[in-house]
Amino acid sequence: MTNSANHHARVLQDKQYLWHPFTPQQRWIAGDPTVIVSGSGCYLIDDQGHKYLDAVSSLWTTVHGHNHPVLNAAIEQQLKHIAHSTMLGLTHPTAIELARRLVSLTPKPLARVFYSDSGSTATEIAIKMAFQSQQHRGHLRRTKFATLVDAYHGDTLGAVSVGGIDLFHHTFKPLLFNSLALPAPRSPGGEEERDCLTRALEMLDAHAHELAGFIFEPLVQGAAGMKMHSASYINTLAEHARSKGLLLIADEVAVGFGRTGTLFACEKLSFSPDFLCLAKGITGGYLPLAATLATEAVYEDFLGLPEEGKQFFHGHTYTGNPLACAVAIASLDIFEQEQVLEHTAMLTETLGQGLAQLKTRPWVSEIRQHGVLVGIDLCHPDGGELHPSTGHKVAMASRPLGAILRPLGNTLVLNPPLCMTRAETLQLLKITDDACAEVFAGVP
């Protein structure tokens, strides 16, 4: 069969059998989906041999690039020993080693690693741990959580309950517990942020007695459309919440592993959280794995004789999977051995220079950047209403030009692998710019 006949057959079967996440299936079925068969560095390669720059790191996961020899070898090596063994009642060396490494790399009070397998479970676990910890401490009325407006912490029901993206979440309202959504700005440092902070502090004061914890995405609210706030905004809010007895949950599922320029965003903050949620980039983008880190003080709330029933009643079957832990360790080795954060600083600068150019276009209202995380807000050049699918159209137009983008509504997102070269970055910015020009040439 020719490449194209092969593609056609595959796509028919996709449309017959699959149901894609977050996808309007009717539009999907009407289209011609791209079928990715391999990857190399910052490129994805389809079944007809076309190469695309992976502008969003395969949904914010890929760190050192696709098909990385060191990461491949780590999985092959582990596979010679065992692919999976349970963490319930047993342990294994790769889970132990990765936990030791994570504790040594994160702020000091974080001392314990609880594994799971996705960002949603990482936050769900932190929420349940914080709640149970408050219960063990006798704070029985602390049953709710403070969050930020437009928060995204995952798609399981607990994570959705502390989420605030109406489009994703409103359908499930009757199934959720109530949270207190604190105002958060769209971009850092201005009048809007000062106003948000004042109102957020008042809300915390009014509700602190019923709050078990405060969960937040430090510095960048990714799925909200790369909304950003200053370190001083989250420092003030978190320290105030802590002074009122709340436990602090930092969700670094999106911002962790170098995306903001430091290994973890919380290195830029004046406080250490009680919980740190990690997923997406933890395995370099290779396998599903997540970790919820907790302080020793929280851990001690769960100590007691078995008959006291104080243990944390939660666990996932594939928790701490050895293959995933092995590749996560190899990814940390690469961070240490290949000056990844130095390269990230260069990438951040190149992005910033190129974005300055894009900012002058009549269809761009605002660009926000922190490290390699970028949000480009599109607008109607004449100030009119922009069709809600415009971001999607730009992403589709960028594909024949050689890039895979995935926007959030009418905010274009760039979040490249940290290994992207200067030349690839400039090419990606040019494709983004050209795709916009093409789409906006047709906007009435």
Return d(Cα 314, Cα 379) in angstroms, integer: 45
Interface with ligand PLP in residues 36-65 (CB under 6 A): none
Q: Which amino acid is at 188?
A: P
Return d(Cα 339, Cα 101) in angstroms, integer: 17
Binds ligand PLP by CB under 6 A, chosen from 222, 225, 284, 416: 222
Q: Which residues pair with 278 in a beta bridge?
A: 291
Distances (CA, A) of 359 to 60, 171, 330, 335, 355: 23, 35, 38, 32, 6
Q: How far is CA 334 from the centre of its chain?
A: 20
State in angstroms the smallest separation of the CB of 81 from ligand PLP: 26
Q: Does 254 bind ligand PLP (CB under 6 A)?
A: yes
Return d(Cα 355, Cα 353) in angstroms, integer: 6
State in angstroms the smallest separation of the CB of 167 from ligand PLP: 15
Task: Return the structure tokens found at 138.
Answer: 């006798």
State in angstroms the smallest separation of the CB of 162 from ligand PLP: 10
Binds ligand PLP by CB under 6 A, chosen from 123, 147, 415, 425: 123
State in angstroms the smallest separation of the CB of 264 from ligand PLP: 13
- Measured in residues, the chain has a length of 444
The nearer residue to ligand PLP, 208 or 323, going by C-beta atoms, is 323
Q: Does 223 bind ligand PLP (CB under 6 A)?
A: yes
Binds ligand PLP by CB under 6 A, chosen from 153, 227, 370, 392: 153
Interface with ligand PLP in residues 257-316 (CB under 6 A): 279-280
The nearer residue to ligand PLP, 251 or 301, going by C-beta atoms, is 251
Q: Does 119 bind ligand PLP (CB under 6 A)?
A: yes
At 203 the three-state DSSP class reads: helix
The nearer residue to ligand PLP, 254 or 378, going by C-beta atoms, is 254
Residue identified by tokens 């000091």 is 108
Binds ligand PLP by CB under 6 A, chosen from 52, 115, 152, 363: 152
Binds ligand PLP by CB under 6 A, chosen from 39, 65, 154, 183: 154
Contacts of 89 (CB under 8 A, 6+ apart): none
Q: Does 253 bind ligand PLP (CB under 6 A)?
A: yes
The nearer residue to ligand PLP, 98 or 397, going by C-beta atoms, is 98
Report the relative pairing of strands 247-251 and 211-216 from DSSP bridges: parallel
Stretch that binds ligand PLP, among 132-140, 164-172, 217-225, 291-299 (CB under 6 A): 217-225
Closest among 439, 422, 406 to 352, alpha carbons compared: 422
For the chain, the C-alpha Rg in angstroms (whole number) is: 22
Interface residue list for ligand PLP (CB under 6 A): 118-120, 123, 152-154, 217, 222-223, 251, 253-254, 279-280
